[in-house]
Amino acid sequence: MNLKFVAVLLFLVVVLGLKYPQPSITHGRTDVVSVTPWLAPVVWEGTFYPVLLDSIYQKRNITVAATVFAVGKYIRFLKDFLETAEQHFFVGFRVKVYVFTDQPNEVPKVKMAAGRELVVRSVPNSKRWQEISARRMEIIQTLIEETLKNDVDYIFCLDVDSKFHSRWGTESLGELVAVIHPGYYKDDRSKFPYERRPASRAYVAPGEGDFYYCGGAFGGVLAEVHQLAQTCRKNFEDDAKEGIEAAWQEESHLNRYMWLNKPSKVLSPEYLWQDFKARNSEVRVIRFSGVIKNYNEIRPN
């Protein structure tokens, strides 16, 4: 879109009420797939009108929650995460960001815009990451049961070691929302790092699986995310009782879940890129991206 076009659009929106370009039924993006075989939209830049979508959801007066864990040394990522969320994540909507940390006093005082709220909750530190990881789903499950039920409509669960770079808004809303992992989206499913041992409850058999989804971002309506968190937690714990830990922990369980329960909306890798990866041409906008981190320095084990 050129500047003149944007100015005209803005004029139409502000002065004349909502107007937007005529949707085409024959022209659209041809370099990417924008709908899955089960007819869920795949969200790419250029497949939606932000102003139109925002106007639909403004009328519904929705509230969006985000959960983020910052335990141990990961607290260092929180400031950038929160500040960039203020700039790009559901701007203009009611937002509640839930921070789970073992160091509540170290949570940066980020100024939140009107209608946006930061809620800090204490969680114990844990020597083993696997325990933090397992507890993540449990905490999300409990949060939905105890706190969110009445005043939140949608929830996104996000990794803290990441920053927003561009709009993440109403186009991402759906019943059950998964993000395509940036590392595997051009690969054959045989290359996906699913859990491959049948003994695990995260098992995905050869020839199965649609996409490889990120563990670092998922969401949807409360009921759907509650079901997901409960199921992944139970499978994770039942595996653990038998001494099994899935290849990529909760990401593996999430992938199994999304195979059996197809997401109603799929977000393209624009919604979780990785800073160390060069941008591919079909990715016109990077909206959220994992920062480069020194694993030896930040991980407890």
Judged by CB under 6 A, which stretch of 35-43, 65-73, 86-94, 237-245 contacts ligand 5GW? 65-73
69 binds ligand 5GW (CB under 6 A): yes
The CA distance from 261 to 205, in Å, is 16
Judged by CB under 6 A, which stretch of 14-22, 158-166, 202-210, 239-247 contacts ligand 5GW? 158-166
182 binds ligand 5GW (CB under 6 A): no
The set of residues, in sequence order, having a beta carbon less than 8 Å from that of 289 and lying 6+ positions away, is: 162, 163, 165, 272, 273, 274, 275
Asked if 47 and 34 touch (Cβ cutoff 8 Å), the reply is: yes
Nearer to ligand 5GW, 64 or 68 (CB): 68
The CA distance from 287 to 273, in Å, is 8
Asked if 146 and 135 touch (Cβ cutoff 8 Å), the reply is: no
Site string for Mn ion, 216-235 (x = CB under 5 A): x-------------------
Judged by CB under 6 A, which stretch of 24-32, 67-75, 187-195, 275-283 contacts ligand 5GW? 67-75
237 is annotated as an active-site residue: no
Among the residues of the chain, which ranges form H helices?
Answer: 3-16, 50-60, 78-88, 129-143, 222-241, 249-260, 295-298
Size of the site for ligand 5GW (CB under 6 A): 15
195 binds ligand 5GW (CB under 6 A): no
Half-sphere exposure of 278 toward its Cβ, with a 13 Å CA cutoff?
2
Site string for Mn ion, 140-169 (x = CB under 5 A): -------------------x-x--------
Cα 301 versus chain centre, distance: 26
Site for ligand 5GW, rule CB under 6 A: 68-72, 74, 129, 132, 159-161, 216, 290, 299-300
Active-site annotation, residues = 251
